[in-house]
Amino acid sequence: MVMPYTAIQFTVLHKLKTFASGSSKTENHINLSPYLSYISGALAGCAATVGSYPFDLLRTILASQGEPKVYPNMRSAFMDIVHTRGFQGLYSGLSPTLVEIIPYAGLQFGTYDTFKRWGMAWNHRYSNTAAEDNLSSFQLFLCGLAAGTCAKLVCHPLDVVKKRFQIEGLQRHPRYGARVEHRAYRNMLDAMQRILQLEGWAGLYKGIIPSTVKAAPAGAVTFVAYELTSDWLESTFN
């Protein structure tokens, strides 16, 4: 799931920023206004979500089934979903996922660019080196870590709702939690209201700590890898 998602996301992001800035060089994209960074990130996240969503659905189902396993592998899960729900079943929960990804990706990329600008300003004030406007790999990692943490803390309730839709009707042992019946929620608003009613605010933040511990460093490493790879490609082919 991560490979097509990341590839689509950064490709679309680069194209959008190139269009907005009039330059394909990554170094010129930092001068975009903050709201364009947020919009570019949100649109890139939407494109990546639509392109890789079936893999996200399969991953969530396989991770949520517990023991004994309902599906031994991804192929069996794929075939059962197609057989019982049709191919549209592979996009079950897409709407709440898009509602989640728009603010999440927008915040992640928007705040990342903002933190980068702050880092460059800090270097410009306190550094005496010639490369004062260039952030180190560690500084890029910190920017990505902070951006990922902010986005996850704000958008986690939407992620919880999305996963409830994804595991509707999944048979699993009761010790892994109550089964979410098929079509248990009419829509996303209904899901949030029922979670609040039955589980309180804590229900919307279930799993926030492991989710943040996973997502924030992973996003930070991805940002650093993207920045270094982009710089290498530009220096090699330009």
**Co-location of 117 and 190 in the same domain:** yes
**Co-location of 132 and 174 in the same domain:** yes
**Co-location of 111 and 142 in the same domain:** yes
Does 238 map to a domain?
Answer: no
Confidence class for position 15, pLDDT limits 50, 70, 90: very high
**Co-location of 100 and 78 in the same domain:** no
**Co-location of 118 and 74 in the same domain:** no
Nearest to 16, CA basis, from 33, 34, 39: 39
- Total domains in the chain come to 2
Residue 226 scores a pLDDT above 70 = yes
Choice between 84 and 170, residue whose per-residue pLDDT is larger: 84
**Co-location of 99 and 183 in the same domain:** yes
**Co-location of 83 and 121 in the same domain:** no
Q: What is the arithmetic mean of pLDDT over 204-215?
A: 90
Confidence class for position 6, pLDDT limits 50, 70, 90: very high
Mean pLDDT of the chain: 85
Residue 120 to residue 139: CA distance in whole angstroms: 10
Asked whether the beta carbons of 164 and 185 are under 8 A apart, the reply is yes
* DSSP string of 196-238, one letter each residue: HHHH-HHHHTTTHHHHHHHHHHHHHHHHHHHHHHHHHHHHHH-
**Co-location of 82 and 133 in the same domain:** no
**Co-location of 56 and 123 in the same domain:** no
Domain boundary residue, one of 91, 122, 150: 91
Domain of 161 in residue numbering reads as 94-206
**Co-location of 41 and 122 in the same domain:** no
Percent over 90 (pLDDT), the chain? 35
**SS3 track for 70-87:** CCCCHHHHHHHHHHHHCH
What does the pLDDT look like over 38-89, one tens digit per residue?
999 999 999 999 999 999 889 888 877 767 777 888 899 899 889 888 888 8
Percent over 70 (pLDDT), the chain? 89
> Exposure string (b/e) for 157-171, b if CB count within 10 Å is 16 or more?
bbbbbbbbbbbbbbe
**Co-location of 117 and 181 in the same domain:** yes
pTM attached to this predicted model: 0.79
Asked whether the beta carbons of 156 and 126 are under 8 A apart, the reply is no
> What is the per-residue pLDDT for 66?
67
Residue 176 scores a pLDDT above 60 = no
Residue 110 to residue 103: CA distance in whole angstroms: 10
Nearest to 13, CA basis, from 49, 39, 35: 39
> What is the per-residue pLDDT for 195?
84
What does the pLDDT look like over 125-155, one tens digit per residue?
877 655 556 788 999 999 999 999 999 999 9
**Co-location of 121 and 154 in the same domain:** yes
